[in-house]
Each structure stands twice: as C-alpha cells, then as structure tokens.
Amino acid sequence: MAIELVATRNGPYLVTGDLGQLDLRDGDGNLYDFTGKSRVFLCRCGASTTKPFCDGQHTKIGFQAAEAAVKASKPALDGA
C-alpha cells in the first residue's frame, strides 16, 4: 500500500498508508516510531507545540491555506 499525503482544508497534512515504510526523522536524525499507526497528522500552520505533529492549534489561530494543487511554471529543485 502506498503512502498518501493530503493537505487537509485549513489544517494539517494527513499521512496514511503503510507507515512502516515511512522514514520520518527529527533534526538529530532519529526516526519516529509509527508502529501500530495507520495515520498521522503533520503540522503545517507552524503553531503546534508537538511539531512535527499537529496538536490542533490551527483551529485556534485561524490558519487558512490554499489546498488546490497548481502547476509549477518551473520544475522544483530537489531539496528546495
């Protein structure tokens, strides 16, 4: 099963799928353990106190985001 990442409406990124295949590391290179999890929510508003995970702060700060995918005029550079 593929891993899917969805930008929820005015909320976090929802990551679903076989999270055993997902390598998410902290700033020191340590892997997060997703054993037994089928989904995880990642913060994209910047206000979470549990980064990189969502703690619901987006609702308190009125976070609004553009979810619609747009075609890039130039290809994105790796690591940009």
Q: Total structural domains in the chain?
A: 1
Res 76: pLDDT: 65
* Rounded Cα gap, residues 45 and 70, in angstroms: 20
pTM of the model: 0.82
**pLDDT category, 80, cuts 50, 70, 90?**
low
Helix (H, G, I), strand (E, B) or coil at 59: helix
More confidently predicted of 50 and 1: 50
Res 69: pLDDT: 76
CATH number at residue 58: 3.40.5.90
Q: What is the pLDDT of residues 18-47, one digit of tens each?
A: 999 999 999 999 999 999 999 999 999 999
Query: What residues make up the domain containing 74?
Result: 1-80
Are the CB atoms for 40 and 53 separated by under 8 Å? Answer: yes
Res 1: pLDDT: 73
